[in-house]
């Protein structure tokens, strides 16, 4: 279902928050600040992210802010291409998982040990299982 945005309400939200493209580290630092002296893209996005029952206009503003933040971070802090192994380790760390937690996903403790240590590449079937488990694109593991 597509929510219809009321142009007047959305214009008021834009006027209230005044989002803009982040171009410098200083602007990014100000954006990260939770001080409400002036509009702060990240603080506003965090506030909207946790808001229950966002209006269509708030959802549109949230999407705009996320796009502006991601654009800045991608340009200023480019990440090199991650290996499937490093992606697995990152997801494990982010979810506070141990090797033992992946045994049922990868099939055996021996295979899991080799995959987690980087001694064995992740196969297509394993990538599919990991993608489903972590709810990400299985292509990250290939």
Domain residues of the chain, as ranges? 7-76, 84-141
Question: How many Å apart are CA 50 and CA 32, to the nearest integer?
Answer: 16
Per-residue confidence at 25, pLDDT binned at 50, 70, 90? Answer: confident
How high is the pLDDT of residue 102?
94
What residues contact residue 28 under an 8 Å CB cut-off, 6+ apart? 22, 72, 76
Please check whether residue 45 is in contact with residue 62, taking contact to mean a CB–CB distance below 8 angstroms. yes
DSSP 38: S
Report the range of poorest mean pLDDT among 3-17, 24-38, 102-116: 24-38
Kindly report the CATH class assigned to 84-141. Answer: mainly alpha
Angle of helix 84-94 versus helix 109-117 axis, rounded to 10: 110
DSSP 88: H
Judge whether residue 13 has pLDDT over 90.
Answer: no
29-87: pLDDT as tens digits: 665 553 333 346 677 778 888 888 888 888 888 888 888 877 877 777 776 677 899 99
């Amino acid at each position: 279902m597509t929510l219809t945005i009321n142009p007047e309400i959305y214009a008021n939200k834009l006027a209230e928050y005044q989002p803009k493209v982040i171009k410098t580290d200083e602007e990014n630092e100000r954006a990260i600040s939770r001080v409400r002296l002036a509009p702060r893209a990240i603080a506003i996005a965090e506030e909207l992210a946790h808001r229950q029952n966002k209006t269509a206009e708030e959802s549109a503003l949230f999407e705009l802010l996320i796009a502006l933040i991601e654009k800045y971070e991608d340009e200023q802090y480019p990440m090199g291409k991650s290996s499937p192994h490093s992606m697995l380790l990152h997801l494990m760390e982010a979810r506070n998982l141990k090797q033992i937690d992946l045994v049922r996903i990868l099939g055996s403790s021996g295979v899991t040990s080799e995959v987690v240590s980087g001694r064995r590449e992740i196969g297509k079937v394993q990538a599919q299982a990991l993608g489903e488990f972590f709810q990400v694109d299985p292509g990250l593991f290939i």
